[in-house]
Structure 1
Amino acid sequence: MSDAPNLSDDDEKGCHHALLIIDMINGFDFPDGERLRPQAEAVAEPIAALAARARAAEVPVIYVNDNFGRWRSDFRRVIKHVRAHTPGAAIAERLAPQERDYFVLKPRHSGFLGTSLEVLLGHLKTRCLILTGIAGDLCVLFTAVDAYMRGYELRAPGDCIASVDEANNRRALELLRESMRVDTSPAESIDLRRES
């Protein structure tokens, strides 16, 4: 009998939900990064709590993260760089991925554009995406639009989404609610129980 980990993900296949953590593993070493970092720090704790609940409920946790133009990198190298050398180290430490989490590197704003996210979600038989992360008015919003066009049910807990400008963040959440019927209630209201 082998002690090797099960890489088939059979335990999570068929789960109704998936939690997406968008761009939170981030160095914040870009224009407006210093303005965004305090907002990201404020949402890191509720995201971490939601991720812990998701893992306990065997809901897949998927890190959807910029590749920062580093085409030869992988997600573990991105994490290592952020934790060792950037102002985002404390957030990356707080939101450190666990062994069974998934990773999708994205080249642009949407988590779907040019990535394997849709194939992964199909493999997991996911129907509802819980969107968290930064920036609410860019990457989270564009990922939500692409998910909406693909027919996913969406949740976007307002206490888990941040933008550089708070007014823009509020407008993005309003757009999600009004145009795509996205529930933006706080993370603690999300029921992560599996459906049979």
Structure 2
Amino acid sequence: MTRTALIVIDMLNPYDHEDADRLTGSVEAVVGPLRDLVARARERDDVRLVYVNDNHGDFAAAREDLVRGALEGKRPDLVEPLVPPEDCAFLAKVRHSAFYGTPLEYLLSRDGTEKVILTGQVTEQCILYSALDAYVRHFQLVVPRDAVAHIHPDLSDAALRMMELNMRAEIVDSADCL
């Protein structure tokens, strides 16, 4: 049984969208800490590593398609360090929450997961909505502030505060997660 799940959200991004220029500066800052956190999770038997990524409206896209599309995008340097390992769970999502329309809840429940660590992008969107969905499913929440990227710094700060106060999330540094 794994009691903790490290969930990496939406890091396979081709950065060809409207907010990409605002987002990439923040992503540059989180790639290193997130890469290190993923490496620590892979060393532990009691942590389940799960990647959940937007399928960008392509419902026929497989994991390999999403990886290739991101690596062929505008910022492969932000993608390559966080390409999902072949032996980890990978789920495609269609909306903001990692839980919406995915088998994530089933996977975590089957494993006996009690705590989820939410990482990736975008703090004020997909991370926030995933946190709310995790909270209403009674998972303990941890959000490492240096492993989540934002588009709008002020909204990111507000989202982290909301997760902390309204969802009882622990807001920590990635070095303190595992």
Which is greater in Rg? 1
The corresponding residue for 2:63 is: 75
Give 1:157 shift: 0.6
CA distance in 2, matches of 1:62, 1:88: 22
Q: Runs ≥4 in structure 1, deviation > 6 angstroms?
A: none
Structure 1 contact 157–184 (Cα < 8 Å) conserved: yes
Instruction: Work out which of the residue numbers 152, 156, 176 in structure 1 matches 2:143.
Output: 156
Q: What percent of counterpart residues are identical?
A: 36
| TM-score w.r.t. length of structure 2 | 0.96
Match of 2:107 among 107, 120, 133: 120
Classify the secondary structure of the residue corresponding to 1:60: strand
Q: Match for 1:99 among 66, 86, 99?
A: 86
Take 1:123 and 1:87, find their aligned partners in 2: how far apart are those partners?
37
Given the alignment of the two structures, is residue 134 of structure 1 paired with residue 121 of structure 2, yes or no?
yes
Deviation, 1:156, is: 0.3
**Normalised TM-score (structure 1):** 0.87
Quote the offset at 1:88 in angstroms.
Answer: 3.0
3-state SS of paired residue (2:16): coil
Deviation at 1:124, TM superposition (A): 1.7
Q: Determine whether 1:56 maps to 2:43.
A: yes
Does residue 32 (structure 1) correspond to residue 19 (structure 2)? The answer is yes
- Unaligned 5+ segments in structure 1 are 1-13
What amino acid is aligned across from residue 33 of structure 1 in structure 2? A
Report how many aligned residue pairs link the two structures: 177
Counterpart Cα distance in 2 of 1:168 and 1:45: 23
Measured in 1, the distance between the counterparts of 2:42 and 2:55 equals: 25
Bigger share in strand: 2
Give the aligned CA root-mean-square deviation in angstroms. 1.0
